Amino acid sequence: MPTTNGTRKILDLKRWEYCTPPPVVPTSQHLIISAKHVRQNQVYISSAGIAHAYSPQEDGWVQLPSPALATFTQGCCGVGGSFSTGATAGAASLTATGGTTSTIVTNQTLARDLRGYSVHILAGPNAGLTLEILSNTIGANATITVATQASAFSASTVYRLMTPTFFAFGGGTLASGSFKRYDFATNSWVTLANTGLPATFGTDAKLVSTPSWIDTGYKAFATGTATAGGASTLTNSAKAWTTNSWTNFQIRITAGTGAGQIRTVASNTGTVITTSAAWTTQPDATSQYSIEGNDDFIYLMGNAAVAMYRYSISGNTWTTLAPGVARAGAPGTALSGTWVHSVLATDWTSENAIQNGRYIYSFRGSGASLDRYDIALNAWAALTYAPATETFGAGTRYAYCKDAIYVTKEMTGRCFRLDVARSSMDGWGTLLFPQSGSGQLETMFDATYRDGDTEIDYIYLVPNGVQATFRQMVI
Average pLDDT over residues 362-382: 96
How far is 50 from 326, CA to CA, in rounded Å? Answer: 37
Phi, psi of 450 (to 5 degrees): -130, 140
User: In angstroms, rounded to a whole number, what is the distance separating the alpha carbons of residues 17 and 240?
Assistant: 47
Cis peptide before 125 (omega within 30 of 0): no
Any idea what the Cα angle at residue 336 is, between residues 389 and 358, rounded to 5°? 105
The dihedral sign for the CA sequence 368, 374, 379, 385:
negative
Judge contact between 312 and 372, C-beta under 8 A: no
Angle at 410 between CA 406 and CA 412, to 5 degrees: 95
What is the pLDDT at residue 1? 63
pTM for this model (two decimals):
0.97
From residue 434, give the alpha-carbon distance in Å to each of 46, 334, 414, 465, 468: 20, 20, 11, 9, 11
Q: Is the pLDDT of residue 439 over 80?
A: no
In one letter, which amino acid is 281? T
**Above 90 in pLDDT, residue 105?**
yes
Contact 304, 203 (CB under 8 A): yes
CB-based contact 41:32 (threshold 8 Å): no
Inform me whether the pLDDT recorded for 4 exceeds 90.
no
pLDDT per position as a tens digit, 150-169: 999 999 999 999 999 999 99
Name the E strands within 228-327: 228-229, 233-235, 250-255, 262-268, 272-275, 288-292, 297-302, 305-312, 317-320
Report the C-alpha gap between 272 and 408 in whole angstroms: 43
CB atoms near residue 196 (< 10 Å): 12
Cα–Cα distance list, 443 to 117, 287, 410 (Å): 26, 43, 12
Assigned architecture for domain 16-84+164-215+295-473: 6 Propeller (2.120)
Amino acid at site 157: T
**Which range, of 205-209, 248-252, 364-368, 444-448, averages the lowest pLDDT?**
364-368
Q: Is 220 helix (H, G, I), strand (E, B) or coil?
A: strand
Closest C-alpha among 442, 401, 439, 405 to residue 32: 442
The total number of residues written for the chain in this structure: 475
Confidence at residue 161, expressed as pLDDT on a 0 to 100 scale: 97
CA distance 431 to 19: 14
Across the beta sheet with 165-169, the strand order is: 77-81, 165-169, 179-183, 188-191
Which sign, positive or negative, has the C-alpha torsion 119, 263, 87, 123? positive
CA dist., res. 240 & res. 271, Å (int) = 6
Contacts of 285 (CB under 8 A, 6+ apart): 225, 226, 227, 228
Query: How much of the chain, in percent, has pLDDT values that exceed 70?
Result: 100
Domain ranges of the chain: 16-84+164-215+295-473, 94-162, 220-289
Residue 135 in contact with residue 115, Cβ under 8 Å?
yes
Residues 382-393 have pLDDT tens digits of 999 999 999 999
Mean pLDDT of the chain: 96
